[in-house]
Amino acid sequence: MNLREAFTTTLNMHWAGTRSEEENWRIAQAWLADGNAKFHVTQMTGEAAAAACELWRSVDGLAPATLNRRVAVLSKALHTAHELGHLPEVPKLPRFKEPAPIDRSLTSEQIIKLYNKVGGLGNHQGQFMGALIQFLFNTGARLGEAMGAAWEDMVNGRWTIRRSKNGHSRIVPLNGGAQAALEQLVTLTGDHPMPFGSYATTSQVQHWWAKARVWAKIPHARLHDLRHTCASNLVRKNVSLYTVQHLLGHRNINTTMRYAHQNTEALEEAVKLL
């Protein structure tokens, strides 16, 4: 089995129909370039993979995270070849050290400042953005999920997100802050079936947010940081990573694990029990 056959088989067996299909196949093409397509899978040793990655790093300037993603796609193809009996043993592939993740969460003071500054957008726009900030902070939802939310999906204090970024549905309980934010929108949207999406487009929201963060002198702040802030606050309050994972809709627990380092107080309390 040559390398092209290994990637094609992996596509058909594992990637077809998934959200990562297109991206994984794009990465596969990078491995198949420069005549590598006809290489037998046994020729793709750890040393050969490391050499290719070093070339991408030095010539194309690819970051460690990008290189690790490419190695993961190659690893899947080699494991498929091994499972089908075309590769006696999967070689040890390189792994690149990634920098520690940046804490993108906002402080309470920053959120209050941004909340106050959106008032400068005007009466209705300010009311809308204030409600959106409050809703995202209290639910940990993605902006796209909030903009696509429908009133019919919010029943008995629970919001059913029919389809999230990872392709799955989930239920988000609406606390007092989230419900208060929705009540602010009633006067703006009336009987429209979508509380947020009926008033503005995503591009309009981003434009208004950009103005507010400049006025608040927090130019690095993103709306998505409200999601990070929600998760960070929950972890600091000793909510389990499993619970945070399902509230935010992370498909992989490793995505949620980035918040684990922020729970140092819980670790300090834990060692006292020893």
Residue 87's alpha-carbon distances to 6, 78, 223, in angstroms, are 10, 7, 47
Walk across the sheet containing 154-155 and list its strands.
Answer: 154-155, 158-161, 170-173
Half-sphere exposure of 96 (CA within 13 A, CB side): 20
Half-sphere exposure of 76 (CA within 13 A, CB side): 21
19 residue type, one letter: R
Residues 6 and 37: their CA atoms lie apart, in Å, by: 9
The ranges of the chain with pLDDT < 50 are: none
> Three-state SS for 50?
helix
pLDDT at 30: 94
Residues 229 and 6: their CA atoms lie apart, in Å, by: 42
Whether 60 contacts 105, CB under 8 Å: no
Whether 11 contacts 91, CB under 8 Å: no
| DSSP designation for 18 | S
pLDDT at 259: 77
pLDDT at 90: 95
Rounded-to-5 percentages of helix, strand, coil across the chain = 60, 5, 35
- Where on the phi/psi map is residue 52: left (φ > 0), alpha (ψ -120 to 50), or beta? alpha
